[in-house]
Amino acid sequence: MAQLHDSSQFSISKQQLFPQEEMLEIKKKRKELTIGIPKENWEFENRVCITPQAVQLLSDNGHKILFESGAGDGSNYSDLEYSEVGAEIISDKKRIFKSEIVLKVSPFNNKEIELLDDNRTVISALHISSQSKEQIYGLMKKRVKAIAFEYIKNESSHYPIVRSMSEIAGKLSINIASEYLSKQHGGKGVLLGGITGISPAEVVIIGAGTTAEHAAYAAHGLGAMIKVFDYSIYKLRDFQRNMRQQVFTSVIQPQALAKALKSADVVIGAMDIDEKTDKFVITENMVQQMKKGTIIIDLNSDSGSCFESSKPTTYKNPAYIKFGVVHYCVRNIASRTARTASIALSNVLTPILLKIGDEGGITKLLKTDRGIRNGAYIFNGILTSQSLGIKFGIRSKDINLLMAAF
């Protein structure tokens, strides 16, 4: 007697087969979104979240884009470029902030939070070190769903926006170092890579993550001598393997690091320091021992610098001299190449916006997408970020538990 391999559509009762109803898949109800892109509130932020090409893709999928006039100027995208692909150009900022989703680069300030309607979705950078309790409470009162660029993960559990901006910052740091070594910028007049018969400049990199790797790639391409320091031997091994060429690496030891700093021409800080500690990798005493005219490029001046002598600067006054050493400590260094950075942001954010529409809204996407859910720090007015809760003394809840109720 032949065996029945699939009896999912039948029930068996006393050796008789009866047909059963087949369950059909319920089609997801797609949602058309209204997305607002306001002009950035900070004068030194030149990036924009989505490019005209992304707007065309979103418009073709039925979504409405409200674009504040001039929002793309910093990245050299004109209003006309956006309007030609379906965006509605608006001068009324209030209308932008009434959109279902408000998307911007820099964190929302108090004035912008006031403009938001209740129950909106806001997506932007968080910059936890610069947040205030007032701003967090303001967003909570508006009962928003807030998602931070820094915490969004992809399918590989990487942070795509952080990674993209880190790549840009790493490569830019070497360009900036080369500029400030030149006589035109008050430097020693040293060529970073040297020439035949003349030693190249020495570049010391603190950290062995993505930013450090791309700084090392750029420095190596120009012919500089590179030394990399990190606390983790495992990170240094990964760094060495990814570089695919021999580079001087060392676990951070005060004596070895101090010796390298004394001969360095450029020192790049590419390591995040835990804000709970007051320990600096490079103390002021170490900086005083450096050669006059050495260039320090601090890529984390506002989020736990590894230099004791560092303080955040802006593009208006990007560098200052302390102990005879030039300090370049601009906070949003990726904005220096705003167009490239904007394209990188758009490449990550556009698929997310399409998924929100395809899933039928942000709540449904948060339930199914663990990477996007990781980026949420407020859900319907409830704080879901433990680190923000600890910082401001606000009770937080696990978003994974909240999702079970929605």
Q: Measuring CA to CA, how many Å separate 359 from each of 59, 164, 369, 378?
A: 17, 26, 10, 20
- Kind and range of the H or E run holding 178: helix 160-181
- Token pair, residue 59, equals 């418009």
How far is the C-alpha of 12 from the C-alpha of 378, rounded, in Å? 51
How far is the C-alpha of 43 from the C-alpha of 266, rounded, in Å? 29
DSSP 346-373: HHHHHHHHHHHHHHTSHHHHHHH-HHHH
Structural contact between residues 290 and 325, judged by C-beta atoms closer than 8 angstroms: yes
Residue 34's CB is within 10 A of a number of other CB atoms, namely 14
Q: Which of 73, 238, 302, 358 is catalytic?
A: 302
Q: Which of 117, 127, 220, 238 is catalytic?
A: 127
Structural contact between residues 229 and 260, judged by C-beta atoms closer than 8 angstroms: yes
The strands making up 88-90's β-sheet, listed across from edge to edge, are: 88-90, 64-68, 34-37, 101-103, 121-124, 145-148, 376-379, 382-383
Q: Could you confirm whether 302 is annotated as catalytic?
A: yes
Q: Could you confirm whether 265 is annotated as catalytic?
A: no
Which residues are catalytically annotated? 127, 302
